[in-house]
Structure 1
Amino acid sequence: MMQPADLPETVAVFPLPGALLLPRARLPLHIFEPRYLQMLEDALKTPQRIIGMVQPAPVPSNDQALHAIGCAGRVTQFSETEDGRYLITLTGISRFRVQHEVEGFAPYRRCEISWCGFERDLGKCETDQAFDRKLFLDLLHRFFASQQLSTDWDSLTDADDELLVNSLSMLLDFDPEDKQALLEAPCLRTRRETLVTLIEFAMRGGSGEEALQ
């Protein structure tokens, strides 16, 4: 497990809309743009192998704006294709707060960041004592049916609280701002409640039905 002293004050950031990384979760990425290939190669040269995932912020007057909170991941798997692309996996370490962007000669963006306030991310898996798993899975069955989605229900049923909630938060097709709300949730319970709200909203379609009590 990575310690606070191991975390850098400056990280390369990958501003990818809709891509959500959460602590202890795994995010597969396909890297092919030259600037991000360089970012990956530079990250692999460091002991931490850290890349920060940050979503662009919807600021009409500034198409380079970033959300204030992102999540850092360690490159834990990578393979190179014959044409020079990379398939990598980032394992989430901790969220961070962007302080300011660092100017330099790198073709990719770098930010000075603060890890303060996210110490819990470096600890053990979170639990949700108020989690009614049966009620949640019932809602999930209805949602997947309404969206014509399929999944490995045995794996979902067996997953622990954090893995279940975080995996769904990352995988389900929500708007980038909804993904950001899931990222910024202060604890697993709040993230689960936010996830339920988003699922209910998608199912209602404005009708007010399918509410989870």
Structure 2
Amino acid sequence: MTGTGTLARLSIFPLPGALLFPGLQLPLHIFEPRYRALVTDALARDRRIAMIQPRGTQDDAPLFTIGCVGHIDQVEALDDGRFNIVLEGRSRFRLIRELPATTPFRQVEAELIEDDDDEALSAVERASFEREARRFADAQGYSVDWDSVARLDDISLINGVSQIAPFDAAAKQALLEADGLEARCELLIQLMQFFGRHDGGDDNRVTLQ
């Protein structure tokens, strides 16, 4: 359940493999000069940094369409100019176009996506998800505090698992792009079922490439 939002100029951090979901936190160690400049600029303005996946490893790689705006919630400035920061996900955004920029970091025009903060799963959907999550955790040998999980609201649960699950970046990008809590929950279940059947090897992550 999403709506269209306002347009915004966003400074982006296209870091491969680092995805942020609304309501979740992402710790980052900032050491490259261009991204130290990005953090310095964000701290002087609105503390916003937009995380989005690049479609390649080159500096000017094309970008995926959907990302997440983060707010610098915690910051530690180190003596040598590096930063340790914690971003808190605020809202997804839809890329419209990349903007010409004189800054060392890239900037885009984007539409902020107004996700429904009151979305909830049905009792059947929640039970189905928790059942599959238990199977997945048991199969992977994860230790989970299920009492704490039971106390999470539906959005925190689904977004939290989406961000921390051991899937590859393509799978997590698909989760971020899923429109609505129910769709994201259904995709998570499918990914856990697929991963649960994966027969191992040197790289056990789900791959949707």
Contact 1:69 1:97 in 2 (8 A): yes
Whether 1:179 aligns to 2:176 is no
Partner Cα distance (1:40, 1:53) in 2: 13
**Equivalence for 2:82:** 85
Question: Which amino acid in 1 is paired with 2:31?
Answer: F
**Within 5 Å, which residues of 2 pair with 1:32-47?**
32-46=31-45
- More deviation, 147-156/103-112: 147-156
Contact 1:182 1:191 in 2 (8 A): yes
Task: Return the structure number with greater strand share.
Answer: 2
Normalising to structure 2: TM-score of the pair?
0.83
- Report the 3-state secondary structure (helix = DSSP H, G, I; strand = E; otherwise coil) of the residue aligned with 1:9: strand
Partners of 2:118 and 2:166 in 1: CA distance = 24
TM-score where L is the length of structure 1:
0.81
- Determine whether 1:113 maps to 2:110: yes
Secondary structure, counterpart of 2:27 in structure 1? strand
**Pairing partner for 1:50 from 35, 48, 51:** 48
**Unaligned stretches of 5+ in structure 1?**
207-213
Question: Aligned ranges for residues 68-79 of structure 1 at < 5 Å?
Answer: 68-79=65-76
Q: How big is each residue's C-alpha offset from its partner over 1:68-119, in whole Å with a ceiling of 9 and x where there is no partner?
A: 111111112112345443222222222112122122221111111122xx22
Q: Any conservation in 1 of the 2:129–2:185 contact (CA below 8 Å)?
A: no
What is the match of residue 204 of structure 2? none
Partners of 2:75 and 2:118 in 1: CA distance: 25
Distance in 1 separating the partners of 2:159 and 2:193: 17
Assess if the C-alpha contact under 8 Å between 1:53 and 1:70 holds in 2: yes
Take 2:16 and 2:144, find their aligned partners in 1: how far apart are those partners? 24
Q: Percent identity?
A: 42
Please, which runs of 5 or more residues in structure 2 have no aligned partner?
Answer: 200-209
Write the distance in 2 (CA, Å) between the matches of 1:133 and 1:69: 26
Q: Report the AA paired with residue 162 of structure 1.
A: I
Map of 2:13 onto structure 1: 14
Deviations 1:190-213 (A, max 9, x none): 00001111110000127xxxxxxx
